Chain A
Amino acid sequence: DGGITQSPKYLFRKEGQNVTLSCEQNLNHDAMYWYRQDPGQGLRLIYYSQIVNDFQKGDIAEGYSVSREKKESFPLTVTSAQKNPTAFYLCASSMRSLGFRAGTEDGYTFGSGTRLTVV
C-alpha cells in the first residue's frame, strides 16, 4: 500500500545536538512538506519541496535544514540553532505543487508524525 512514513515516532535531543527526522513516501507525489504543530496553534510550515533537488523556506525555517535528493525522501534536520524544538513534526506530500483545478481534491497525505523533546 502507498503511504508516507516518518521515523522515529519519538525522539529526544540534548541541548546543542543536531537531529534528523526521516520522511519517505511511495505515493509518487511531487511535493513534500514539513510542518510543526504546537499545542493551541495551527500547523506551521517549515520547509517545502516541489521537485527533486529544490526546496524553499516556509514560515519558520530558522534552525532547520532539509534536502531532497530523491523524490521519495525529504529528511528534516533540527539544528542546535533551533531554540525551541520541542514539538510534534508532521511530514506531508501532495500530488501537485502548483496549480489547482476547481473540483479536484488535492489535500495532503500526512505521515504519522515525530514527537521531538529536548532533554
Chain B
Amino acid sequence: GQNIDQPTEMTATEGAIVQINCTYQTSGFNGLFWYQQHAGEAPTFLSYNVLDGLEEKGRFSSFLSRSKGYSYLLLKELQMKDSASYLCAVRPNTGGFKTIFGAGTRLFVKA
C-alpha cells in the first residue's frame, strides 16, 4: 500500500529550530511537497523536492532522501505564527496527477 508517516504533534519554543520528519512508502516517486495549514484554513504550499538534497527558502528548508523514503521540514527562528499543521504529501507516479497526503504534524510554538 501507499503510506505517509509523520509525527502527530510537536512543541517548540519561539526563536528555536524544529525539524518535522516524514517517511513515505509509495508506488513510484514524482515529488514531495510540504504544506502549512492553520486551523480551519486552507493548506498553503511551502516547498517541493524531487531530487535528493536540501532546498532552502528563507526560514524554511526541506530535505529529501529518495533512497530512504524520507524527508524533513526545518523551521528556523520560530515565530508564534508558525503554530500550525504541516502536511507532507507525495506524488507517487510519473505523469500522474494524484497526490497522497500525510495526516499532518501539529506544531505548537510557545513563548
Contact = CB atoms under 8 A, between A and B. Distances in A.
Given A107-B45, A110-B43, A102 B97 contact: no
B45 A45 contact: no
A45 B100 CA distance: 8
Contact of A108 (B4, B30, B41, B99): B99
B87 interface: yes
B59 interface: no
B91 A100 contact: yes
A7 interface: no
Interface residues of B, number: 29
How many A residues touch the partner, as a band? 20 to 34
B107 interface: no
A102 B51 contact: yes
A22 interface: no
Among B4, B42, B51, B97, chain A packs the most CB atoms within 10 A around the CB of B97
Interface string B2-33: 00100010000000000000000000001101
A110 B42 contact: yes
B95 interface: yes
Interface string B49-60: 011000000000
8 contacts: A42-B103, A43-B43, A43-B87, A88-B40, A99-B95, A100-B94, A105-B45, A115-B40
Interface of A: 31, 35, 40-45, 48, 50, 58, 88, 90, 94, 97-100, 102-113, 115
Q: State the 9 A-B residue pairs at the shortest beta-carbon distance, nearest first.
A: A110-B42, A42-B101, A107-B45, A43-B101, A105-B48, A42-B103, A97-B97, A112-B42, A102-B50
